[in-house]
């Protein structure tokens, strides 16, 4: 509950609705909006006022704008990823496989290699090239269990080379990650990803 920030439940509800809508937009990949025109369109629609843009045209504008935005972001991410991976090969200990996956061994293992049919228990920490954390079992303080053949290509390739107890840093090009589609609001199209992965055990 709020501590006297709102006068009544309607104000609380309205603010909460604004938070939820904004969060959903961010999750769907919308990076920025003109808040004044957003509120104007919201208010006109909700109040039944005459709309400045017909609804069918508005839907077309949304599709075209988001497509153009995604294409621009996709190109930018691809260029940044390519430059990063090229420079990354100059770092001592970084190895590149035939597929383009790069990795660096942080800790040697002691156990067995998993197979494609195995389930594994891992701790991991995933970031974008700018350091933004998009997923982390370490931050959740709970290791994840999943089939080797159910993860992105870069992960699967690395896991098959790792042994229990090993910890690697993975540098995964977009073609071995989520590609042109991206994944949610944080992982944009053609994003290169960096993971620290510790293979705890085959389960």
Q: Please identify every residue annotated as catalytic.
A: 124, 134-135, 152, 178, 195
Q: CA end-to-end span of the chain, whole Å?
A: 43
Q: What b-and-e string marks burial along 76-109, b requiring 16 or more CB atoms within 10 Å of the CB?
A: ebbebbeeebeeeeeeeeeeeeeebbbbbeeeeb
Phi, psi angles (nearest 5°) of residue 37 = -75, -30
SS3 content of the chain, % helix, strand, coil (to 5): 45, 20, 35
Residue 187 DSSP code: B
Q: Nearest Cα to 137, choosing from 128, 147, 126?
A: 126
Of 174, 200, 186, nearest to 77 by C-alpha is: 174
Beta bridge partners, 124, equal 197
């Amino acid at each position: 509950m709020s501590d006297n920030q709102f006068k009544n439940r309607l104000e609380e509800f309205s603010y909460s609705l604004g938070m939820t809508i904004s969060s959903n937009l961010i999750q769907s990949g919308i990076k920025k909006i003109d808040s004044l025109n957003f509120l104007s369109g919201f208010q006109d629609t909700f109040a039944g006022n005459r709309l400045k843009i017909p609804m069918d045209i508005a839907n077309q504008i949304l599709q075209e704008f988001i497509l153009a935005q995604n294409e621009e972001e996709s190109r930018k991410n691809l260029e940044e990823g390519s430059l990063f991976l090229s420079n990354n090969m100059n770092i001592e200990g970084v190895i590149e496989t035939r597929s383009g996956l790069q990795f660096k061994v942080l800790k040697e293992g002691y156990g067995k290699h998993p197979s494609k049919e195995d389930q594994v228990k891992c701790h991991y920490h995933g970031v974008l090239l700018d350091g933004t954390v998009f997923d982390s079992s370490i931050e959740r303080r709970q290791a994840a269990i999943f089939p080797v053949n159910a993860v992105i290509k870069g992960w699967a390739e690395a896991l098959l080379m790792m042994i229990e107890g090993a910890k690697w840093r993975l540098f995964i090009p977009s073609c071995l990650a989520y590609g042109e589609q991206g994944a949610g609001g944080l992982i944009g199209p053609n994003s290169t990803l960096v993971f620290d992965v510790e293979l705890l055990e085959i389960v």
